[in-house]
Chain A
Amino acid sequence: MKSYYSLLLAVVVIIGASFLTPMLNTYILGRIMYIGIMISMAVSLNLINGFTGQFSLGHAGFMAIGAYTSAVVTTWASTHGGSILHNNDPAMFLVALVLGGVLAAVAGLGVGIPSLRLRGDYLAIVTLGFNEIIRVLIQNLDFKIDGVDYIGGARGFSVLPMTTFVWVFITAAVVVFCVENLVNSTYGRGFLAVRDDEVAAEAMGVDTTKFKVRAFVTGAFFAGVGGGLFAHSNYNITPLDFTFLTSIDIVVIVILGGMGSTVGVILAAIVLTTLSESLRSVPQYRMIIYSLLLVILMITRPQGLLGPKTLGRLFKRRQKPTVDPVKG
C-alpha cells in the first residue's frame, strides 16, 4: 500500500519541476522529454526482454500503433471537436493515449498467442517480422476525412504538439511503478520464473505461455502510450520512424542498462540519449563514436550498467554486510 505514496510523491515532484521548465530553452526541454519517452519505452520492453526473458525486437511496432492511433484521435477531435472532446483538452489527450495503448496491447495479444510458443532467436525473428508488417501497413494507409489527411502513408502524418513535460514524466513514473510492483509481487515472481528456468517453472505449476502473453500485452500497452507521447512531440510522424532499427535502439538501452534492472535501464536511457546528443557537433563521426562506446561499454560492463541489482539493493549491500553478515 505504501508504494502508492511513492508514486504520489513522484507526481508531486514532477508537477513541481514542471514550473521550472519555462526556464529551460525549448531544445533542452525537448531532449529531456525525449529521454522521458525513452524511459517509458525501455522500462516496458524490460518487462518482456529483461524480466520475462523473451527476446522481442518488435517494440517499435507497438510504439507505431500507439503513435498513429492517438494521432488519429487527436486530429479527429481537433477538427470535429466542440461537443465532448475539445482541442488541446487534457482529457482528450488522455483518451487518445489510452486508446493507443489499448490497441497496441490488442496487437501484443495478437502477436503473442501464436508466437510465444517459440523461444529465443525464433521469437526475435517473429517479432521483427511483426514490426515490419505494422510499418508496411501504415505505409500503405492514407485517407481523408472532411479534407483532413489521416495516416498519410510514406508522406507522413502531421500531429499536434500536445506532449508536455508533465505528461511524459507522469507516464514514465506510472510505467516504472507498474513494472516494479508487478515483478516484485508474489504473482509477478512468475515472470522471473519463466526467465530463469522455463521447464522448472512449468513443473511448479506456472502457466508459462500465459505469463509470456501477459508480459507482452502489458509491455505493448505502455509502448503504445509511449508511442502516443512520441508522436505528439514530433510534429510529423512517418512509418520510417518505427523501423526495426528503432526497436534495436530500445533493445540496446535495455541490454546496456542490464536485463531486468529498472534503475539500470532508466540510467541507460539517460546516458545513451545524452551521449548521442552531445556527439551532435561531429555528425560524420557520430555513429562511429557512439557505436564504439557501445562496444567498449559492453566489454567492460557485460552485465549492464548496474547489473541485475536495483539501486536500493546496491545501497543495502554496501551497508548491511558489516552490520549483519549472516542475514545479508
Chain B
Amino acid sequence: MTRYQVSRRHIVGTFALLFASSALIWGCKTAGGPAGTEIPVGEFASLTGGTATFGQSVHNGDVLAIDEINAAGGVLGKKINLLTEDDQSKTEEAVASVQKLVNSDHVVALLGEVASSRSMAGAPIAQLSHAPMITPASTNEDVTKKGDYIFRICFIDPFQGQTMARFALNSLGKKRAAVLTDVKQDYSVGLDEAFKHTYSTSGGAIVSEQSYSTGDKDFHAPLTSIRATNPDVIFVPGYYTEVALIVRQARELGIDCPILGGDGWDSPELTKGAEKEFNNTFFSNHFATEDPDSTVQNFVKKYEDRYHSMPDAMAALGYDAARILVDAMKRAGSTDSAALRKAIAETKDFPGVTGHITIDPNRNASKPITIIKITEGKFHFAQRIGPEGEALTPFQP
C-alpha cells in the first residue's frame, strides 16, 4: 500500500517538475520578438572547449565583417543582428544551438562551424527549416551533401592534394615524389590519394609510399626507407604536431629535398625550435597575411587594428563567409529563404580575402589556393594557384 503511494507520487511529481521547468524555459525564450528593423543572422561556433581557438578566430572574422557592413548602412535598409551561440566544442550543444537559432530566434541564415562533425550535426536542422547555412571551414566532403541549403566557402580536402601535386611538378619542377601519410586521419588519407593520382597522371613518379599514425614520435624507419629511394620532393599531409617532428628527423637523416604539406601545417607551433630545419618546405593554405593582393592587405590591417593580433586562416574564412551571405542578400533583394538560397548558390567570382570564390553546383567553393613557403620559421607567400591548377601569380622562390 505505502509502496504504491510512493511510486505514484514519484511519477506525478516528476511530471509536475518537468512541465514547470519546460514552462520556465518557454517563458524565458519567448520574451524577445522580431524587431523588424534588423535582420537576424545566426552563428554557431566553438567559443570554448577543445577547438576554441578556431571558433574564436571565425567569430572575430564574422563580427568584423558584420560590423563593417552595418557601419556602411547595413543591407536592404536594415542592420544585421548577429546572434552568436557557443557550442562548447560539443556536437550535442551544436544541435541545441542551431535549434535555438532557427526555431526560437528565427534567423534568416546560419554561419557555422569549423569542425565537420558539428557542421554535420547542425546541417540537417538548417535543411529541415530551410535556413541557408554557410560553413566557413568544414573541409569534409559530406557536409554539403546534407541538403541544398548547405554551402561551404573553403576548398575540400582532395583539392589540396591535387594542387600540391601540380605545384611540385610545375612550379618546383620535381618529377620523383615520396609520400608519408597519417593513416589515422581521414584528412591525411584524402590529401594523399588526390596527390598520388594527380602526380602520377601528370607526368611524375611516386617512388615511395610510407605511413605513420597520429601520436607517433619516432619517424626514422619510414624516413630511412624514403631516403633509400632518393626522391626529389616529399609530401607529408599531416597535422602540425607530427609534422614538426617529421621534418626535424628528416633533416637529421640528411634528406634536404623540399617537403610539402596541407593546411594541417598552419600553426605557430609548427616551426618552434626548428627554424633552420623548416627551410625549403611549402604548404597549401586558405590565405597568407603577406599576400600582396590589396583585399588581403586591407583585411589584415582592419583585423590588426581591432584585435591587435594577426588574422589566421579561420578568421579570413569567417570574414568571407559573412560577406558572401550579405552579398547574396543584396542580390536576392530579400531575406526570403528560397530567394536567399538561390542567390548564395549563384555566387560567382566573389572577391574574398581567401581568393575569388564561386559556388559550384555541389554547393562547394571553387577558389584558388595559396602556397606558403617557410623560411627561417616565418611563413611567406609563395604562389597562388587557381581552381583548375593554373598559376595565378608567378612562383616566388
A contact set with B: CB distance below 8 Å: 2-3, 5-7, 9-10, 13, 17, 24-28, 30-32, 34-35, 39, 140, 142, 149, 153-156, 158, 161, 172-173, 176-177, 180-181, 184, 230, 233-238, 240-241, 262-263, 266-267, 270-271, 274, 277-278, 280, 283-284, 286-287, 310-313, 315
Contacts and interface: CB of A to CB of B under 8 A. Distances in A.
Contacts of B13: 263, 311
B28 A10 contact: no
B95 A30 contact: yes
Nearest to A310: B6
B25 A312 contact: no
Given A27-B104, A283-B48, A156 B117 contact: yes
B376 to A, nearest CB: 34
B285 to A, nearest CB: 22
B224 interface: no
B86 A34 contact: no
A236 B9 CA distance: 37
Interface of B: 1, 3-11, 13-15, 17-19, 21-22, 24-26, 28-29, 47-48, 50, 84-86, 88-92, 95-97, 99-100, 102-104, 116-118, 120-125, 140, 142, 184-186
Contacts of A280: 85-86, 97, 100
Given A28-B25, A235-B125, A310-B6, A277 B96 contact: yes
A236 B24 CA distance: 28
B22 A32 contact: yes
B193 to A, nearest CB: 15
Contact of B92 (A2, A142, A234, A267): A234
Given A9-B11, A176-B11, A266 B117 contact: no
Contact of A34 (B47, B96, B122, B125): B96
A163 B116 CA distance: 23
Contacts of A24: 22, 26
B72 to A, nearest CB: 27
Nearest to A30: B99
A267 B13 CA distance: 10
B7 A270 contact: no
Nearest to B55: A283
B18 A234 contact: no
Contacts of A142: 186
B155 to A, nearest CB: 18
A161 B99 CA distance: 13
B117 A140 contact: no
Contacts of B21: 35, 270-271, 274
Contacts of B184: 140
Contact of A10 (B11, B47, B86, B122): B11
A240 B89 CA distance: 9
B18 A311 contact: no
Contact of B6 (A28, A140, A156, A312): A312
A310 B102 CA distance: 39
Contacts of A310: 6, 10
Given A10-B11, A315-B9, A26 B90 contact: no
Contacts of A263: 10, 13-14
10 contacts: A24-B26, A25-B103, A27-B102, A28-B25, A30-B95, A156-B117, A176-B11, A180-B10, A287-B48, A311-B13
Contacts of B104: 25, 27-28
Contact of A27 (B6, B88, B99): B99
Contact of A241 (B15, B19, B47, B90): B90
B103 A236 contact: no
B7 A180 contact: yes
Given A283-B84, A313-B6, A241 B50 contact: no
A313 B24 CA distance: 27
A230 B92 contact: yes
Given A6-B4, A153-B186, A235-B125, 6 more contacts: A13-B11, A27-B96, A27-B103, A28-B103, A177-B11, A230-B92
Contacts of A155: 116-117, 140, 186
Contacts of A233: 95
A322 B47 CA distance: 56
Contact of A283 (B9, B28, B47): B47
Contacts of A241: 90-92
Contacts of B50: 240
